[in-house]
Amino acid sequence: MNQLDALRQWTTVVADTGDFRQLAQFKPQDATTNPSLILKAVQKPDYRPLLDDGVKKHKGKPVDEVIDRLLVRFGTEILSIIPGRVSTEVDARLSFDTAATVARADRIVALYRAEGIDPEKRVLIKIASTWEGIQAARQLEQKGIHTNLTLLFSFAQAVACGNAGVKLISPFVGRIYDWYKKSEGAKWDEAANAGANDPGVKSVREIYDYYKQNGIATEVMGASFRNVGQIAALAGCDLLTISPDLLAELAASDAPLSRVLDPNASAAKKVDKVELDEPGFRFALNDDAMSTEKLAEGIRAFAADAVKLEKLMESV
């Protein structure tokens, strides 16, 4: 049994890519996309026709609508290959506007329905884990539209997401690791900060334990991995979304892989549930330099790629 097959025993494997032609070989249950992955895909000859056809077909429509139609086109192609759900992201430039995020999510869901896809079963709307994004997710979940709260770096964000009843969260393991490694500079000891001691891994384990201890149904999906060691250290997490390169590395390895996270073991370590109102959330996030910086950086990067995608469309 290779490591990828071993991982599937306890964890739902999710592919993190817009390159849907790679999916069949790894047989993931779900898939995640984001503006950066879609931008990367449409610059390849295999996928450029999807952008060109979409722009020409919907000429004259607002560019934000054409982008949503492109994202749904990719999502629809992905859903024809995988058995589970696809995550489709709301424009990061709406990360601080609850009403606009809800409206954009409603449109994406309507576009999926027009393609004959049941969004309640097969689509997760990805939203940045800002206070406004989490409140948008609360409203969407109440309407039966399920959400994936992304760019999540802190315990406070996870607490607020759990309290809001979101379907799934995506803690960013690799980006947390990146921040601490950069912060330590020459003092960083890679070996001492690997495996269970990796700061990104520790963050996910804390969130996973807290959810299981308090009966919070929100699914935990580790994301943004830098190496297979981080994945192995989270074997047993509800879901893990993994890039094609790392999926291939797992599939090529026969090294032993053991379960690390277990819901029953976590639930036994009971801790009190935390409640966070808006001021408490904002202070806790502000008090965490890593989370504040990585959340802002992530929103800027996704917003910049959305602009690049718009410019690419304008060139058609």
Q: Which residues contact 7 (CB under 8 A, 6 or more apart)?
A: 13, 231, 235, 240, 250, 257
DSSP state of 188: -
Q: Which residues contact 291 (CB under 8 A, 6 or more apart)?
A: 153, 154, 156, 157, 285
Two structure tokens written together for 42: 């449409």
Rounded CA-CA distance 35/39 in Å is 6
User: Quick check: is 126 catalytic?
Assistant: yes
Identity of residue 203? S
DSSP state of 152: E
Rounded CA-CA distance 31/161 in Å is 21
Q: Could you tell me if 316 and 52 are in contact, meaning their C-beta atoms sit under 8 angstroms apart? A: yes
Q: Could you tell me if 232 and 222 are in contact, meaning their C-beta atoms sit under 8 angstroms apart? A: no
User: Which of the residues 61, 126, 143, 212 is marked catalytic?
Assistant: 126
Question: Annotated catalytic sites, by residue?
Answer: 126
